[in-house]
Chain A
Amino acid sequence: DVKVTQSSRYLVKRTGEKVFLECVQDMDHENMFWYRQDPGLGLRLIYFSYDVKMKEKGDIPEGYSVSREKKERFSLILESASTNQTSMYLCASTSSITGSEQYFGPGTRLTVT
């Protein structure tokens, strides 16, 4: 059974803090993704990675960076958190096989005050 876990369900940080969101998957998936979800906007892709140490910008990468040192772990970093980064963050993973679904973690609701 595929499992994608995220380090926190809820997180409260102050403006200017450096924030780390961790994601781990246990299915040996090549591809991993970070999305943010905001009401009325759906899920928007921040960054994705298709291999260890490889990363690609998504649609809204500004203010974020990522790290993938091991295949199972994909980290999202907010270098200096701002209030407009208050959102739900979802991590996902998938294999490269055609038709494979993305498996999502439970999400982290981040509030920046």
Chain B
Amino acid sequence: AQKITQTQPGMFVQEKEAVTLDCTYDTSDQSYGLFWYKQPSSGEMIFLIYQGSYDEQNATEGRYSLNFQKARKSANLVISASQLGDSAMYFCAIRSYNQGGKLIFGQGTELSVKP
């Protein structure tokens, strides 16, 4: 069975600083994908970044980067130069390609950006 663990229920960061949101995963599959989603207070789920298990380079998308450490089963999200609009819930998820594409989500981390 697959599992995602996010150990930080809530985080605070000062505007313009960088912040790391932790995510560890457990899977017995060789081929899988890791995703991060943002959910602002309005409720919609916004896709941020994707890392495949065979990708050798860490994924980056603008101010978002994924610190992928396969041996440690870790997929932390790094947000550089935080903005007030980054305040939201952040979810890490794992997708196994053996199981119809379903995502298993972590409990989420609530990020608050202070001015």
Measured in the bound complex, the distance between the Cα atoms of B26 and A68 in whole Å is: 31
What range describes how many residues of A lie at the interface?
Answer: 20 to 34
Known: A90-B45, A101-B35. A45 touches B107 (CB 8 A): no
Known: A31-B101, A48-B100. A40 touches B44 (CB 8 A): no
Give the one of A40, A41, A94, A101 with max B CB within 10 A.
A101
Q: How many A-B residue pairs have CB under 8 A?
A: 61
- Cβ-defined partner of A104 (8 Å) among B44, B97, B101: B44
Contact with A along B13-52 (1 / 0, CB 8 A): 0000000000000000001010101000001110100101
Give the one of A44, A99, A106 with max B CB within 10 A.
A99
Known: A106-B43, A106-B44. A100 touches B101 (CB 8 A): yes
* Interface residues of B, count at CB 8 A: 26
Q: Is the CB of A33 within 8 A of B102?
A: yes
Measured in the bound complex, the distance between the Cα atoms of B97 and A99 in whole Å is: 9
- Cβ-defined partner of B45 (8 Å) among A94, A100, A104: A104
Q: Is the CB of B45 within 8 A of A45?
A: no
- Cβ-defined partner of A31 (8 Å) among B37, B93, B100: B100
Q: Is the CB of A101 within 8 A of B104?
A: no
B residues with CB within 8 A of A: 4, 6, 9, 31, 33, 35, 37, 43-45, 47, 50, 52, 91, 93, 95, 97, 100-108
